[in-house]
């Protein structure tokens, strides 16, 4: 049963991620309707998303630690309920500050209950095909722009934004709560940490030792610079394409190309990670990502934009799940949520840098070229940092146990 049920865990994780991420990223779809109905500024409403990213960063560590202690099912179930309730309450907000609190802080924090706990859970269910499994969960999350976003866009054409958001809240409850009930602890943890196998990586390590280890710090820094590399290009490329003379409608389609390519990238990198090793594939992916974002400097028409977007989307989406695989290979299963949550926090903070820095660069230089060059530089920093990663020596594990 365990061998077959692990794919149920993958399916549940993919569905939870798709709906949670999709619900949070419905805000850009509702943005103009909310502003027109309430009179709130676009900047003020958009700030809710910034708050959401910061809440996700903090929530990743908190939810990850709670999943280690109480199990991923309770965390996913709680997050699903809080997300549905937060969306419902946000749909009735009567002031901008109230909306920022409900949609930004609560929706962002609830969304974080999915990624780290489910990634940690899936890594514990798989001894083989681990990279493919976490990539499939990530692919489910990547389906959000192609499922929940169009649904939100359709709802806003037939309802006002408050009704549409309330419907999204209902969909979250109907889909996520049953999916969360399918989640189970990995078999190795079902009887508690004391029953774990003797060959568990770093079985004698404490959480304090883990978060102070060079291995954890290197993974956090690599993930920060990795996400900082692609966050600016993701956020500003449509605007950049428009400045190059590409019509807005066509420019927006660049995102779709990037998203579709990312689906393939997640699967391909998962297979390659299982075959050649997660760290080796991740290093090569980060190097390719750095030069991929630099390529934007040299394009100015729609066809080349599509080509570069497909390349960058394929690479950055493919690299992200591999961090969880490296973590599972080096840290005990009983602290997966905490360690993956810590690296996810660093990634969220990295994602928050691109929109701001890209905007500042464009406002000052009236050009995005320096943003892409800066992203290339941060990508090379990510490569150098990850190259310094070394697995824990087996002797250290023996000493820790002794």
pLDDT in tens, 68-113: 899 999 999 999 999 999 999 999 999 999 999 999 899 999 999 9
Confidence class for position 125, pLDDT limits 50, 70, 90: confident
| Same domain assignment for residues 76 and 169 | yes
Higher-pLDDT residue of 152 and 378 is 378
Domain shared by 176 and 276, yes or no: no
- In 334-393, where do the E strands start and end? none
Would residue 398 count as lying in a domain?
no
Print the domain residue range for 378.
Answer: 207-389
In this structure, is residue 396 part of a structural domain?
Answer: no
Cα distance between residue 295 and residue 27, in whole Å: 30
Supply the pTM of this predicted model. 0.80
pLDDT in tens, 187-202: 877 655 444 444 566 6
Pair 83, 115 in one domain: yes
Provide the number of structural domains found in the chain: 2
5 has pLDDT over 70: yes
- Asked whether residue 213 carries a pLDDT value surpassing 70, the answer given is yes
The pLDDT value given to residue 397: 42
**Position 396 pLDDT exceeds 60:** no
Residues 160 and 219 in one domain: no
Q: From residue 103, how far is each of 38, 304, 336 by CA, in Å? A: 15, 37, 28
Domain boundary among 142, 157, 186: 186
CATH number of the domain bearing residue 163: 1.20.1250.20
Cα separation of 128 and 120, whole Å? 15
Most confident of the following: 2-16, 119-133, 191-205, 218-232 = 218-232
Instruction: Report the largest interatomic distance among the alpha carbons of the chain, rounded to a whole angstrom.
Output: 66
Where is the domain boundary, 153, 186, 219?
186
Q: Is the predicted pLDDT of residue 394 greater than 70, yes or no? A: no
Asked whether residue 223 falls in the same domain as residue 360, the answer is yes
Q: What is the mean pLDDT of the chain?
A: 88
């Amino acid at each position: 049963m365990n061998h077959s049920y692990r794919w149920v865990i993958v399916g549940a994780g993919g569905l939870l991620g798709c709906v949670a991420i999709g619900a949070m990223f419905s805000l850009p779809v509702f943005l103009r309707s909310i502003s027109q109905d309430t009179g709130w500024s676009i900047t003020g409403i958009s700030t809710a998303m910034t708050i959401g990213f910061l809440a996700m960063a903090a929530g990743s560590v908190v939810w990850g630690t709670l999943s280690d202690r109480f199990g991923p099912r309770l965390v996913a179930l709680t997050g699903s309920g809080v997300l549905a309730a937060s969306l419902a309450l946000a749909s009735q907000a009567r002031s901008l500050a109230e909306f920022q609190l409900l949609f930004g802080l609560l929706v962002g924090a609830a969304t974080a209950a999915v990624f780290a706990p489910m990634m940690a859970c899936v890594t514990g269910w798989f001894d083989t095909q681990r990279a493919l499994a976490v990539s499939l969960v990530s692919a489910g999350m990547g389906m959000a722009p192609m499922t929940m976003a169009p649904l939100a866009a359709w709802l806003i054409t037939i309802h006002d934004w408050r009704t549409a958001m309330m419907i999204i809240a209902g969909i979250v409850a109907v889909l996520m709560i049953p999916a969360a009930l399918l989640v189970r602890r990995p078999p190795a943890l079902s009887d508690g940490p004391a029953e774990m196998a003797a060959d568990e990586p770093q079985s004698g390590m404490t959480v304090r030792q883990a978060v102070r280890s060079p291995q954890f710090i290197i993974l956090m820094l690599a993930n920060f610079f990795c996400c900082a590399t692609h966050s600016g290009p993701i956020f500003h490329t449509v605007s950049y394409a428009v400045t190059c003379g590409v019509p807005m409608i066509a420019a927006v389609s660049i995102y779709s190309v990037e998203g579709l390519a990312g689906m393939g990238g997640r699967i391909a990198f998962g297979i390659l990670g299982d075959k050649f090793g997660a760290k080796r594939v991740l290093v090569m992916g980060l190097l390719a990502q750095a030069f991929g974002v630099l390529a934007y400097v040299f394009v100015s028409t729609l066809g080349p934009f599509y080509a570069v977007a497909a390349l960058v989307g394929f690479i950055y989406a493919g690299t992200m799940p591999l961090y969880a695989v490296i973590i599972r290979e080096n840290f005990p299963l009983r602290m997966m949520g905490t360690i993956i949550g810590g690296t996810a926090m660093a990634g969220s903070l990295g994602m928050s840098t691109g929109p701001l820095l890209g905007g500042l660069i464009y406002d000052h230089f009236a050009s995005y070229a320096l943003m892409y060059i800066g992203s290339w530089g941060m990508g090379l920093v990510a490569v150098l940092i990850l190259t310094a990663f070394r697995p824990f020596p087996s002797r250290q594990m023996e000493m820790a146990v002794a």
